[in-house]
């Protein structure tokens, strides 16, 4: 019994065995339901270097992750689960629930009829694959896309998400003040790196802050006085 457990821990978890739940007819029906992006990504994820990067990251979670404890989630499955989460913009709880209930997602993630990792395990997998591994995956995906003629690799488009945070309301006057502050800081760095300039960079932030306050106070006045006060503040900037 101990020998059997040891062999289970030492098996290569980079790939999964073929799911035994589906016969040929059901497998064909499931394949027809795949979305176009799933088919494209499925071919890219066949690359051994991608899976190997995830496998190496999983083995670094603890010093003896390879030989002790429960058998880890196959790297191929972990990679596909995290990609599905990113594409669908799901939480780990939603990812667990959707994959458990959907045969198409089970086929795409190569889980088949095996048990789906719970949300806590999925979160640990996400933590194990840190920024360095993500960078390696992006580089490899770019190489594959160039090889297949999908992209030329000369430009990169980044899709970002706006996250709400506690910042001051961005009025025009405050934005001007922020711009002056950043420019002053940048020029100070340039002056220091150059070992000095012919004309010393003067810090005008005290007068800038006074003007920003004057414009902000004038903007609170109603009627002609407010408009005239704000205009005079801008003209004297």
Higher confidence at residue 136 or residue 5?
A: 136
Rg for the chain, CA atoms, rounded: 28
pLDDT at 205 over 90: no
Instruction: Estimate to the nearest angstrom the gap between the alpha carbon of 66 and the chain centroid.
Output: 27
pTM: 0.53
Q: Residue range 19-41: average pLDDT?
A: 75
Q: Residue range 192-210: average pLDDT?
A: 83
Q: Residue range 143-160: average pLDDT?
A: 72
pLDDT at 39 over 80: yes
pLDDT at 54 over 70: yes
pLDDT at residue 230 in the model: 53
Contact in structure between 108 and 34 (CB atoms under 8 Å): yes
Q: What's the mean per-residue pLDDT of the chain? A: 76
Q: Which segment, 52-56, 63-67, 75-79, 158-162, is predicted with the most confidence on average?
A: 75-79
pLDDT at residue 4 in the model: 32
CA nearest 208: which of 182, 171, 177? 177
Q: Hey, where are the domains in the chain?
A: 2-147, 172-235
Buried b (16+ CB within 10 A) or exposed e, 174-207: eebbeebeeebeeeeeeeeeeeeeeeebeeeeee
pLDDT at residue 12 in the model: 47
pLDDT above 70 covers what percent of the chain? 74
pLDDT at 99 over 90: yes
pLDDT at 209 over 60: yes
Strands annotated E in the chain? none
């Amino acid at each position: 019994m101990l020998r059997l457990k040891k062999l289970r821990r030492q098996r290569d978890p980079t790939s999964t065995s073929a799911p035994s739940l589906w016969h040929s007819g059901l497998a064909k029906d499931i394949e027809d339901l795949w979305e176009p992006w799933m088919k494209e990504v499925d071919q890219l994820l066949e690359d051994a270097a991608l899976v190997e990067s995830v496998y190496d990251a999983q083995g670094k979670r603890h010093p003896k992750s390879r030989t002790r404890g429960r058998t880890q989630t196959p790297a191929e499955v972990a990679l596909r689960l995290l990609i599905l989460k990113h594409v669908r913009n799901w939480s780990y709880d939603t990812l667990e629930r959707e994959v458990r209930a959907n045969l198409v997602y089970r086929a795409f993630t190569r889980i088949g009829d095996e048990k789906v990792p719970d949300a806590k395990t999925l979160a640990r997998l996400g933590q194990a694959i840190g920024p360095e591994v993500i960078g390696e995956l992006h580089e490899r995906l770019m190489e594959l896309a160039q090889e297949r003629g999908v992209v030329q690799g000369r430009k990169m488009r980044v899709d970002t998400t706006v996250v709400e945070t506690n910042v001051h309301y961005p009025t025009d006057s405050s934005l001007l003040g922020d711009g002056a502050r950043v420019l002053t800081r940048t020029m100070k760095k340039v002056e220091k790196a150059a070992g000095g300039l012919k004309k010393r960079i003067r810090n005008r932030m005290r007068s800038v802050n006074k003007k920003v306050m004057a414009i902000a106070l004038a903007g609170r006045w109603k009627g002609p006085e407010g408009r005239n006060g704000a205009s005079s503040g801008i003209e004297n900037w």
